[in-house]
Structure 1
Amino acid sequence: MSPDLSAAEWPRRSGLATLTQALGAQNIRWVGGAVRDTLLGHAVSDIDCATLLVPDVVIDRCREAGIRTVPTGIEHGTVTAILADGPVEITTLRRDVSTDGRRATVAFATEWRDDAARRDFTINALYADPETLEIFDYFGGLADLAARRVRFIGDARDRIAEDHLRILRYYRFQARFGAELDPEAEAACAAMANTLKGLSRERIASELLGLLALPDPHATVERMHRQGVLPVILPEACRTYVERLGPFMAREKAQGFAPEAVRRLAALLPPSREVAETVAARLRLSKAQRARLVNAAERSDADAAEPRALAYTHSPAFAIDRLLLLGEDARALADWQPPVFPLKGGTIVERGVDAGPEVARILQAVERRWIAEGFPEADRVEQLLAEELG
């Protein structure tokens, strides 16, 4: 791997040139994911900028250059510049003053190395000059990137003590970028797994779902279970279900379905509505995520008999979840759109039925028969209605 950004498209964006001129090239460096992902040959989405300037000065200089800013994390020294070709987060150099494992007290810094030292992994502490694209590597991040190794900066236990969420971040990054395991990182995460109990459920859920959404995280999830990390955050995931995750993901891929984090979370849990409700509440999942997890938990062998009826009743996405979790072939539902039931209550009223519960009963009866017959055309629905009225 050559540490060269010259072929990348994003450093040449006009908005970044304007931002560089506004803040001064000597005062800023691109940092983090954009640099790391470019060196790995991955697509770049977000661009982060580190700066020697304090937030008030950043805001003032951007205003003078006609760049709108949003104080997205002003208490941490971060403002976001809104550029025509995408937003850029600009954060003043920082150093940690104190931490309790959940949040850190920081002070602004004036040395690039101090800022790099407070970051989590060496591969996330690579900086690039905005004009020359020279890369600055203070802790061996380039070598780790070449080895596909995720390594904490400095002592792994010290980094985890600063922010316990770094345990889950380590596993997510290792699953995404890693090949060679770092023994120190592995040992530290296992030894400090219980510290995760003090974190907010939302932060845990974000990292867990982020991990499960990756293309192939099953080896990492199995290792988390063996090392006692997964039982701390997801005690319902027993070894049996963890071991089934790999084959389940292989089935997803073979049938052409993209990774779906909540579906994979369901694969780690027993098929129990009560368990799904408990996990959804503890992780504070969104309403949509909770509904998907609970639906998946209510799967039964009978679901495989009529896949399209299942998809009509529960939605194609929910039906696909159930079928995949049952070990069935769900490809027939991949592009299937549920038909519209061609009967309205008003039609029943026109046939002489008084508006009220009887209309609803007849409507539901006809719809059940329509589903059972595989969604026939409107003329058959007319026949079904006549039979019900008769």
Structure 2
Amino acid sequence: MGGVILPDAEWRHRAGLAHLIETLGAVRFVGGSVRDTLLGIPVSDLDVATPLPPQRVVELLKGAGIRAVPTGIGHGTITAVLEGGPVEVTTLRRDVSTDGRRATVAFTDDWREDAARRDFTINALYADPATGAIFDYFGGLADLEARHVRFIGDPLQRIAEDHLRILRFFRFLARFGDVADPAGLEACTARSRDLMALSRERIRDELLKLLIARDAVRVVELMIARGIFAPVLPEIDAEGAERLARLAAAEAASALPLDPIRRLAALIPHDAKAGEAIGARLKLSNAERKALLSALVPFRGSPYALAYRIGTRAAIDRILLSDWEPFDRDLAVRHLGHWEVPVLPLSGGALVERGLSKGPEVARTLRLVEEQWIAERFPDAARVAELADAAVAQALRSASSA
């Protein structure tokens, strides 16, 4: 891919971007926006690098009427808030010291020195905003063409600088790579216990992104075989990889969007205690923990009854993770995807009008009618009225004979 020019892309015409570039002058696009544009995939986050010191960046932005947020000014990062979306502006830097979790940096005006501190060759590509010329200091273009995920320099040193790079190696392999650099793979395997020093939030964020990457199944199998999960998620084993593969096939057959919590549920044993432990360890949100624990409950009964009780999305998760025959499973998921959960056309007041006294008996009778309505697959209001009449008559008979 030598001599490559950055293709034109929609993101390069975002409102306010040209004004930002004109204001700062010495900038280059860097990282994901360059990589993803070369791969022909959508760009979300936009980063630019500059040799200008952070305080000078702030002064120039404010002078140009661009809002500047010092999101990481100690590390040289200023967020420029543009009409077309935020852009992170980062001063060129080099590492002074690292401890595996954070780095102390010094600013520089050397583009190669800035590239050298990045993790992978495919993330160290820069592009001139005006000409589109690509600056590639470590063979990232060739690696991108070969779908080769490779650390810059010594993999062990890169991992020592930031232990999260172990998980990033596998996430990038799952998202972009066909080839795992052997030296990088061996380094990640040898240093997997370094993950224990990371915050669980950082592990969670990387893991959930990895699980929905295009080649997650293959890469997770590789990670299990290499013992990568063992230090922080020992519950994940070879059976988890098999469950994830089955789930991925079911998701593909049902044309469903990928969900990282559902996929995490496939990886761990279907056990509430394991789910609670992992949810707490990864500091999942309350909603994520609830979804995880719900997905771990074995599916049984009617898919419609389940969807009525716990919601369509949660029901689909359980069905996809079940051992149902693929035809039945896929049919149920497709139907539920278009099914509107009904509302029981009956109230407690309607039972009182039929003769029940207000109190616990009303709630009990309403539950009985609802259970029968669910069992009959949600018949119409006329049938519900018949069920209500019969239930109230039985309740009154029971009360008179007591």
TM-score, normalised to structure 1, is: 0.95
Aligned to 2:58: 59
Q: How much does 1:353 deviate?
A: 3.3
> Could you give the per-residue CA deviations for residues 317-370 of structure 1, whole angstroms, max 9, x where no partner exists?
111111111133122212222111222223233334343322222222211111
Q: Does structure 1 conserve the Cα–Cα contact (< 8 Å) formed by 2:15 and 2:82? A: no
Q: Which of residues 300, 315, 318 is equivalent to 1:319?
A: 315
Whole-Å separation in 1 of the counterparts to 2:71 and 2:253? 41
Aligned to 1:341: 344
Question: CA separation in 2, counterparts of 1:215 and 1:336?
Answer: 29
Equivalent of 1:377 in 377, 380, 383? 380
1:181 maps to what in 2? 180
User: Take 2:88 and 2:362, find their aligned partners in 1: how far apart are those partners?
Assistant: 58
Distance in 2 between the 1:279 and 1:6 partners?
A: 43
**What are the superposed Cα offsets for residues 178-219 of structure 1, whole Å, 9 maximum, x if unpaired?**
012210100000000000011111111111111111233111
Paired with 1:73 and 1:157, the residues of 2 have a C-alpha distance of 26
**Counterpart-to-counterpart distance in 2, 1:356 and 1:60:** 70
CA gap 1:160/1:380 in 2 versus in 1, 3 angstroms:
same
SS at 1:95 equivalent? strand
Q: Distance in 2 between matches of 1:70 and 1:353?
A: 64
The one of 342, 361, 365 aligned to 2:364: 361
Q: Which moved more, 1:70-79 or 1:38-47?
A: 70-79
The answer as to 2:284 corresponding to 1:285 is yes
2:287 maps to amino acid: A
Bigger Cα displacement from structure 2, 155-164 vs 47-56: 47-56
> Who is 1:191 aligned against?
190
Between the aligned partners of 2:292 and 2:14, the Cα distance in structure 1 is 41
Partner of residue 4, structure 1:
5
**Could you say which residue in structure 2 is the equivalent of 1:307?**
303
Q: Report the 3-state secondary structure (helix = DSSP H, G, I; strand = E; otherwise coil) of the residue aligned with 1:326.
A: coil
| Kept in 1: contact 2:355–2:392 (CA 8 A) | no
- Matches of 1:278 and 1:215, distance apart in 2: 28
1:108 counterpart letter in structure 2: F
Cα distance in 2 for partners of 1:381, 1:58 equals 69
User: Which SS does the other structure have where 2:84 is aligned?
Assistant: coil
Closer, same or farther in 2 for the Cα pair 1:63/1:135, shift >3 Å? same
**Separation in 1 of the partners of 2:362 and 2:105?**
66
Structure 2 CA distance for aligned equivalents of residues 55 and 356 of structure 1: 69
Q: Which moved more, 1:242-251 or 1:191-200?
A: 242-251
1:280 Cα deviation from its structure 2 partner: 0.6
2:247 and 2:187 map into 1 onto residues whose CA distance is 30
What is the distance in 1 between the residues matched to 2:47 and 2:117? 16
Alignment of 1:129 with 2:141, yes or no, is no
Question: 1:1-390 to 2 correspondence within 5 Å?
Answer: 1=1, 3-24=4-25, 27-300=26-299, 303=300, 305-328=301-324, 329=329, 330-390=333-393
Going from structure 1 to structure 2, the CA distance change for 1:110 and 1:360 (only over 3 Å counts) comes to same
* Cα distance, 1:73 vs structure 2: 2.0
CA distance in 1: counterparts of 2:27 and 2:352, whole angstroms: 72
Aligned residue identity for 1:66: G
Decide whether the 8 Å contact of 1:122 with 1:144 is kept in 2. yes
Partner of 2:399: none
Query: Could you say which structure has the larger radius of gyration?
Result: 2
Q: Which amino acid aligns with 1:7?
A: D
Deviates more, 1:154-163 or 1:50-59: 50-59
Change (3 A) 1:56 1:357: farther
Q: Give the Å deviation of 1:17.
A: 0.7
> Which residue type is aligned with residue 238 of structure 2?
R
Shift of residue 258, structure 1, vs aligned partner: 1.8
Partner of 2:400: none
- Structure 1: gaps (5+ residues): none
Q: Which moved more, 1:305-314 or 1:241-250?
A: 241-250
Q: Where does structure 2 lack aligned partners over 5 or more consecutive residues?
A: 394-402
- The answer (yes or no) to whether the contact 1:119–1:125 under 8 Å persists in 2 is yes
- Residues 358-367 or 179-188, more deviating: 358-367
Q: How many residues align?
A: 385
Shift of 1:14: 4.3
Alpha-carbon separation, structure 1, partners of 2:250 and 2:180:
27
* Matched residue SS, 2:274: helix
Whichever residue aligns with residue 378 of structure 2, its letter is F
Deviation at 1:385, TM superposition (A): 1.3
Change (3 A) 1:73 1:342: farther
With the length of structure 2 as denominator, give the TM-score of the two structures: 0.92
Superposition misfits of 4+ residues, deviation over 3 angstroms: 349-356
For 2:86 and 2:274, the matched residues in 1 are separated by 40
- Aligned-residue Cα RMSD (Å) equals 1.5
Structure 1 counterpart of 2:21, which letter? T
Mapped to 1, the partners of 2:77 and 2:367 lie a distance apart of 56
User: In 1, distance between residues paired with 2:357 and 2:43?
Assistant: 62
Give the Cα–Cα distance (whole angstroms) in 1 for the partners of residues 273 and 98 of structure 2. Answer: 37
